[in-house]
Amino acid sequence: MFESILLDADTTYLDGKRNARRKLSKLRLAILWCIILLLLVTYIHSVILATNLPKLTAATGLPAWLGVLLAAVGLAMLYRCSRKDPGFIRLNSRDTQYER
């Protein structure tokens, strides 16, 4: 009887730690998103749309906007991959295939 109470208390404690880690990881991801978006907007404003720099030609504008597009696609992939649960992969510790 006492063992089940102790086990329940441990699981509740561990669940609380897991929830705190999840919240912290989501906060870190949000901070990373904000930093990347801020850098992307700064790049567009300071380099691509700058009035004090020479006008972009098609040959220089295409790679500049391609970089913006690739950064946006990278953010979309980061969003999709961070929302997926990879599941649990169990490695057999006795299997020689996984030994180094």
Instruction: Report the pLDDT value the prediction gives residue 76, as an integer from 0 to 100.
Output: 92
Split into its structural domains, the chain has a count of 1
Residue 46 lies in a domain: yes
Residue 22 lies in a domain: yes
Instruction: Report the pLDDT value the prediction gives residue 11, as an integer from 0 to 100.
Output: 54
Please compute Rg for the chain using Cα positions: 24
Distances (CA, A) of 21 to 18, 29, 30, 93: 5, 12, 14, 27
Structural domain that includes position 54:
2-79
Q: Which residues of 10-29 are buried (b: 16+ CB within 10 A; e: fewer)?
A: eeeeeeeeeeeeeeeeeeee
State how far the Cα of 94 lies from the Cα of 15, in Å rounded to an integer. Answer: 30
Task: Decide if pLDDT at 45 tops 70.
Answer: yes
Q: With pLDDT > 90 as the criterion, what percentage of the chain qualifies?
A: 44
Instruction: Report the pLDDT value the prediction gives residue 43, as an integer from 0 to 100.
Output: 95
Residue 50 lies in a domain: yes
